[in-house]
Each structure stands twice: as C-alpha cells, then as structure tokens.
C-alpha cells in the first residue's frame, strides 16, 4: 500500500503486499509518481484494476509486475489519487472474483475519505509547526531589538529628546541610540539594517556595539562611521549593509556635528522653515576604506531636528503611492509649537497607509529639540557651603509632564531615605508646582521648558522649579472655600497653591531674569 502526500511526495504508511507464497513478505510499496500513466488509468477507472489487463507501460507498472502484484485498488478522494492498495496472488491461487473486487472497491471508497482527512490534518500540523517556527524567530528578533534600544531618553537641561520605534510584523533592522559622551556632548544614532528578522537583528546588535566603542575614540562622526565600516565589512553577511546617521550634539552651544552613511537625511524645523541636513556617504559594511564627511549645523532655541527611517518615507497608501520625503518635510514644517511631533507624524503616516494596512517596515523617529532653557544655559548651579545638587533637569511644557518631574525628583532623593509620608507630600507639592509652571508660567508652550533642581543641605531638602513666567502676576495661596464650591457658588477648582503650601515646610517665590522660581523646602528632621 502506498499513500500519497499532497506535496506530491509519496509516503509509506504500511508494508505487506500478499505474496504467492503461503507466507507473506513485506515489500517496499511502489510509488505512483504524479502524471504516471497508471495514475491516469486508475483515476479514469475509479475502481480495482487487474495489472494483467493493463496494456500501457511504465516503470511503475513494471515494478508492480516484478513484485507479483495482481490487483490495484485505487484510493480516490475528490478526484485525486490519494494512494492505492496492492494485492498479490490470492492464497487460493484463484483469480480475484467480481465479488472480491466489489468488496475491495467498497472498502477503498470508505477508506478514501478518512485518508483525505488524515492527509489534511497532517498538512495542517506541518503548517502550524512552520508558523510557530517563524513566530519564534520573529520573537527572537524583536527581543534582540527591544533589549538593545535605549530604555530611557536622555534628560538634558534645555533639550527635549523623544523617540518612537514600532517594528513591522517581520521585524526589520531599525535602531537608534543615545550615547552620553561626557563634556556636554550627546551622540545620537539612527540606523537601518537591510533585511529583516533574526539576521538583521544580529547585525544591528553588532553595529550598535561597534558604534558605541568607536564613539568614545573619536570626536569626529565621520571617523566613527569609517571605523565602524571597516570593522563591519568582514563580519556582515554578503548582500547585507547598514545605513546610519551619527550626530554629536554639543548640548551647551547647540552645535550639531554629523556624518551620514547612506541614511535618510535629517530635517530641522527652524523659525524660518524646514532645513535638510545634507551629508552623503556609502552605507556601512559594503566596502572597506570608505571616507565620510563631517558636517556642522547650529541649532537655535526652539529648533527641532527630526531623524527618520525609510519605514516612514517608503510606506505606501492603498493606491501604491509612497509617503515620500516631500510629504514628510511638509509635515515637519506643519508641526506647530504645541504639537506632539511624534503623534502628529505617526498619525499622518497612519492616515496615509489607511487603518487596515499592515506596516511594511519598521518605523523609527528620533526628535531632538533645543528648548529655551528656563534656567538659562549660563545659570550653572554653584553650591553653597554644605549644599549638594541631587538633580538638575528640565521637562518640556506639556500637560502631564509633572508626573515625569515627580518620578525624577523621587529617584534623586531616594538615597536620603525620607519617610513615606513626607516623600508623598513632597511629590504632590512638586507635581502641583510643575503643573503651574507648565500651564501658567509657560502657557503650555512646549518649546519652553520647566527647570527643576533638587538641592540637599544639612537639614533641608530644596526643590527649585523655574519657568519663563517672570513677568506674570503671582497669585497668593488662599484657603479654598469648600462650602461655596459645593454649593456651586465658586468654581470647584483652585486647589493647587493651597495644596503646595500645606505639603511642604516652606514655599519661597522669586523672579530672576525673566524667570519665575518656586522653591519648595522640606526640613529633613521634625514635622512638616
């Protein structure tokens, strides 16, 4: 007996054609190759066929004759030859009777559907296994990528850095990185490995490590890319390469020094429109000994630099048109001050591709904005005797960023071991103060930041919150009248200043060079 798989290979499921001897002998079942004359004959007959009655010739037929087969009973399901039963000479040496043949024909007719089902089940199991294998591979690739992408965004006074990464289902090789180079310099990397899945993820991991190592050896992005290229060429599989843009930002002066290895050009939105930061060079890993050029751009306060991967520009709409550079550039130009740039760009991309479109490639966006620092770049903190600066950071004036400020202040003061109740009170006071700075001082203008400094001295913990509202009226904290509020005679709002004053030991307010500073003081001993 032989059973045919749908993939047109034959599979043996049992042995044992009867043999003229009184004992039976196992035989390797003879396969009927697709298209064999015997297949055509069996399909046209539809029932048991005596080998002696077949006039046609084929290797298969000859082999069956050599094996002593007399009768072939085809197993046919939905017009397809699923297999066949081979019968040798009857033990009684009598020819097969009409009854025998009818019985075998009926048997075959009943067996065939079961065979068909078994065949489908086996195929589905194989497919499921394959799907599972692919899924596992994708998970590995995604894991590599997630592990290596930055867990936290850099927090630098006077800068607002944001990133967005969304892998395609097949996980491409996009990556980005932020490298703290010291001396107020931030390395920013965006790259894209050709290919997808695990191979791309592995190359991405290698490339990222090489970049990190080279970044500390050179002050020139071009030299860093040249080093990485030479190191990558012998390691990278053939036909794979990496596009990459590397920039070093001087976070005090606002210079950007950058070099490009075949990556999409960054855009900078300035007050005069959008500028493309041009730099060219061969992608990494193609040929050794490549040279790259360093270019310079000066970022002013409010300027926004956008780095992207080709998953954005090469995304198609349902008519097959690409999103393209000009649309991206237009979108960057159209982002207004208070726009959340990432959401705006990603939202526009989604409306381009349509809601049901499967994402074709990884999408990566890195956004670096020079904000006008509330503390001013010159306002370097000079600690007085016994003072320690525990944190010095800023958050952009975006609703909800008070939570970010609370988290950072909590992390900075964790080593002081403030008791739970006082810690919670300080957190609430910081949240309310930062919220006021965002809403009132900076009027929700996200190109303005709120500066936060945490200072400890021997007996006190001081949090200074600075915004740009130095010329605004400062309301006094009054005790809200809850009866009037509940009776609807007063707005239910107006709790912020009151809460702040109740939460900490001392609140000081001051105007300094156009800035407004609120100082929250918590005594580290005694009662609040």
- Interaction between residue 498 and other proteins (CB under 8 A): yes
* Burial of residue 380, with CB atoms counted within 10 A of its CB: 0-12 exposed, 13-18 middle, 19 or more buried: exposed
Count other Cβ atoms within 10 Å, centred on residue 148.
16
- Interaction between residue 440 and other proteins (CB under 8 A): no
Closest to other proteins by CB, 120 vs 484, is 484
Q: What is the CA radius of gyration of the chain?
A: 37
CB 266 within 8 A of CB 324: no
Q: Which of 495, 509, 511, 514 binds other proteins (CB under 8 A)?
A: 495
- Interaction between residue 492 and other proteins (CB under 8 A): yes
Q: Which of 94, 110, 115, 92 is nearest to 4 (CA)?
A: 115
Q: Are strands 460-467 and 185-196 parallel, antiparallel or unpaired?
A: unpaired
Interaction with other proteins in 195-254: which residues (CB under 8 A)?
Answer: none
- Interaction between residue 477 and other proteins (CB under 8 A): no
Closest to other proteins by CB, 284 vs 465, is 465
Q: How far is the CB of 353 from other proteins (least distance, A)?
A: 23
Q: How many residues bind other proteins (CB under 8 A)?
A: 25
* Burial of residue 110, with CB atoms counted within 10 A of its CB: 0-12 exposed, 13-18 middle, 19 or more buried: exposed
Stretch that binds other proteins, among 30-38, 368-376, 389-397, 426-434 (CB under 8 A): 426-434
Nearby residues of 75 by Cβ (< 8 Å), 6 or more positions away: 3, 81, 82, 83, 84, 85, 108, 111, 112, 115
- Interaction between residue 496 and other proteins (CB under 8 A): yes
Stretch that binds other proteins, among 168-176, 246-254, 450-458, 492-500 (CB under 8 A): 492-500
Q: Residue 11's beta-bridge partner residues?
A: 3
- Interaction between residue 431 and other proteins (CB under 8 A): yes
Closest to other proteins by CB, 290 vs 438, is 438
Angle at CA of residue 383, ends 380 and 388, nearest 5°: 115
Distance (Å, whole) CA 56 – CA 246: 73
Q: How far is the CB of 387 from other proteins (least distance, A)?
A: 28
Which structure tokens are listed for 48?
A: 């048991």
CB 498 within 8 A of CB 477: yes
CB 397 within 8 A of CB 466: no
Distance (Å, whole) CA 452 – CA 436: 13
Q: Residue 80's beta-bridge partner residues?
A: 77
Q: How far is the CB of 404 from other proteins (least distance, A)?
A: 12
- Interaction between residue 370 and other proteins (CB under 8 A): no
Which is it for the CA torsion 42, 45, 49, 55, positive or negative?
A: negative
Q: Which of 37, 275, 494, 505 binds other proteins (CB under 8 A)?
A: 494
Q: Which of 310, 402, 445, 467 binds other proteins (CB under 8 A)?
A: 402
Q: Which of 333, 357, 482, 510 binds other proteins (CB under 8 A)?
A: 482
Q: Which of 386, 493, 525, 526 binds other proteins (CB under 8 A)?
A: 493
- Interaction between residue 6 and other proteins (CB under 8 A): no
Q: Which of 192, 303, 361, 432 binds other proteins (CB under 8 A)?
A: 432
Count other Cβ atoms within 10 Å, centred on residue 66.
9
Site string for other proteins, 321-360 (x = CB under 8 A): ----------------------------------------
Distance (Å, whole) CA 224 – CA 431: 42
Closest to other proteins by CB, 41 vs 409, is 409
Residue carrying the six token digits 């003081």? 521
Q: Which of 54, 61, 435, 462 binds other proteins (CB under 8 A)?
A: 435
- Interaction between residue 480 and other proteins (CB under 8 A): yes
- Interaction between residue 486 and other proteins (CB under 8 A): yes
Q: Which of 98, 385, 491, 527 binds other proteins (CB under 8 A)?
A: 491
Q: Which of 433, 300, 276 is nearest to 371 (CA)?
A: 300
* Residues at the interface with other proteins (CB under 8 A): 402-403, 420-421, 424-425, 428, 431-432, 435, 480, 482, 485-488, 491-496, 498-499, 502
């Amino acid at each position: 007996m032989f059973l045919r798989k749908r993939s047109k290979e034959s599979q043996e499921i049992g042995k044992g054609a009867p043999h003229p001897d009184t004992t039976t002998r196992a035989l390797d079942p003879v396969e009927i190759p697709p298209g064999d004359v015997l297949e055509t004959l069996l399909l046209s007959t539809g029932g048991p066929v005596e080998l002696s009655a077949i006039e046609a010739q084929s290797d298969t037929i000859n082999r069956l004759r050599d094996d002593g087969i007399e009768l072939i009973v085809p197993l046919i399901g939905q017009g397809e030859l699923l297999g066949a039963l081979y019968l040798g000479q009857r033990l009684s040496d009598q020819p097969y009777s009409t009854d025998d043949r009818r019985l075998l024909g009926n048997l075959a007719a009943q067996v065939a559907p079961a065979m068909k089902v078994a065949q489908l089940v086996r195929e589905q199991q194989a497919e499921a296994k394959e799907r599972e294998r692919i899924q596992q591979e994708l998970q590995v690739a995604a894991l590599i990528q997630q592990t290596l992408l930055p867990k936290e965004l850099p927090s630098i006074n006077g800068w607002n850095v944001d990133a967005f990464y969304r892998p395609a289902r097949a996980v491409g090789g996009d990556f980005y990185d932020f490298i703290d180079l010291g001396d107020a310099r931030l390395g920013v990397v965006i790259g894209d490995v050709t290919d997808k899945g695990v191979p791309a993820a592995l190359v991405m991991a290698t490339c990222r490590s090489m970049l990190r190592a080279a970044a500390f050896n050179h002050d020139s992005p071009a030299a860093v890319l040249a080093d990485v290229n030479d190191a990558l060429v012998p390691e990278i599989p053939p036909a794979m390469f990496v596009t990459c843009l590397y920039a070093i930002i001087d976070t005090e002066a606002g210079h950007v020094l950058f070099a490009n290895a075949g990556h999409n050009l960054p855009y900078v939105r300035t007050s005069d429109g959008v500028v493309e930061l041009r730099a060219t060079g061969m992608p990494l890993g193609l040929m050794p000994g490549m040279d790259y050029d360093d270019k310079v751009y000066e970022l002013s306060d409010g300027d926004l630099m956008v780095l992207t991967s080709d998953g954005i520009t090469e995304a198609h709409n349902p008519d097959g048109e690409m999103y393209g550079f000009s649309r991206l550039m237009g979108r960057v130009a159209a982002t207004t001050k208070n726009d959340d740039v990432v959401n705006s760009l990603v939202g526009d991309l989604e409306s381009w591709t349509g809601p049901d479109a499967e994402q074709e490639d990884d999408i990566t966006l890195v956004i670096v904005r020079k904000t006008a620092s509330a503390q001013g770049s010159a306002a370097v903190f000079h600690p007085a005797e016994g003072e320690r600066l525990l944190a010095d950071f800023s958050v952009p004036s975006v609703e909800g960023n008070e939570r970010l400020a609370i988290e950072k202040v909590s992390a900075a003061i964790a080593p002081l071991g403030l008791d739970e109740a006082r810690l919670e009170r300080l957190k609430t006071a910081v949240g309310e103060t930062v919220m006021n700075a965002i809403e009132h001082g900076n009027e929700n203008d996200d190109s303005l930041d709120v500066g936060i400094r945490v200072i400890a001295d021997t007996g006190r913990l001081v949090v200074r919150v600075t915004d740009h509202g130095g010329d605004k009226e400062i309301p006094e904290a009054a005790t809200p009248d809850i009866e009037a509020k509940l009776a609807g005679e007063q707005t239910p709002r107006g709790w912020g200043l009151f809460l702040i004053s109740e939460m900490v030991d001392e609140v000081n307010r001051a105007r300094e060079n156009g800035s407004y500073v609120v100082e929250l003081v918590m005594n580290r001993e005694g009662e609040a």
